[in-house]
Amino acid sequence: SVIKKVQFIKSAVNPKDYPQPKYPEVAVVGRSNVGKSSLINAIFKRNIAKVSSSPGKTRLINFFLLNDRISFVDLPGYGYAAVSKAERAKWKKMIEKYFQTRENLSLVIMLVDSRHPPTKLDIMMKEWLEDLGIPYIVVATKADKLNQSEKARTKKVIRETLGLPKDFPVFLTSAKEGTGIKELMSYVLDFLTE
């Protein structure tokens, strides 16, 4: 296995509290409840990131370290309807600072729910990443909830809705069943060593 050692480093809101930018960093973004923390646990093969069935669980920027070599970041989600305007503004500021200042940010994994086409907010996130010039890939979560024909269709729907080219990297994963995680990680590791 490629997972030898996993550490939770710290949580932070402001850049001054981020860990030293010593390692290439991979950040996971997406709507609340889409499965960001679950994906990190599936990658790491342990329950290290906090998961909840109610949206808005992850409120801070959480830094993890894999094999003393790669930093992984679990970010708070967007698009949770029950959040106040002030909370939303706080989220925006926190993520904006992170994207703008994090010099070792190498790749963003953008999560979308495989059961639905990407939302307006997902499209905005994708455009934001492109405007900032941050490399990203897309992961469709909760594949265990799809039947075979839905599985066959979903990547195409995602690429079309997000306006991505036909060969753009989109991975279909299930944190519950562990499917697609190997393929995703092999892409990520290759990307980081390129």
Q: In the complex, which residues of this chain contact ligand GTP (CB under 6 A)?
A: 30, 32-38, 51-53, 55-58, 76-77, 141-142, 144-145, 174-176
> Nearer to Mg ion by C-beta: 28 or 184?
28
CA distances from 111 to 1, 17, 69, 73, 74 (A): 24, 25, 23, 13, 11
> Nearer to ligand GTP by C-beta: 38 or 71?
38
Cα separation, 189 vs 27, whole angstroms: 14
HSE-CB at 12 with a 13 A cutoff on CA atoms is 17
By a kind-dependent CB cut-off of 5 to 8 A, residue 32 interacts, out of ligand GTP, Mg ion, none, with ligand GTP
Q: Which of residues 135-154 bind Mg ion (CB under 5 A)?
A: none
Shortest Å distance, C-beta 193 to ligand GTP: 27
The closest of 146, 144, 148, 164 to 156, measured between CA atoms, is 164
If one asks whether residue 58 binds Mg ion (CB under 5 A), the answer comes out as yes
Tally of CB atoms within 10 A around 186 = 11
If one asks whether residue 38 binds Mg ion (CB under 5 A), the answer comes out as no
Q: Which stretch binds Mg ion (CB under 5 A): 57-65, 81-89, 148-156, 166-174?
A: 57-65
If one asks whether residue 41 binds Mg ion (CB under 5 A), the answer comes out as no
By a kind-dependent CB cut-off of 5 to 8 A, residue 55 interacts, out of Mg ion, ligand GTP, none, with ligand GTP
By a kind-dependent CB cut-off of 5 to 8 A, residue 33 interacts, out of ligand GTP, Mg ion, none, with ligand GTP
Q: How many residues bind Mg ion (CB under 5 A)?
A: 4
Shortest Å distance, C-beta 163 to ligand GTP: 23
Phi, psi of 90 (to 5 degrees): -65, -45
If one asks whether residue 37 binds Mg ion (CB under 5 A), the answer comes out as yes
Contacts of 27 (CB under 8 A, 6+ apart): 72, 73, 75, 98, 102, 105, 107, 108, 109
Contacts of 90 (CB under 8 A, 6+ apart): none
Q: Which residues bind Mg ion (CB under 5 A)?
A: 36-37, 57-58
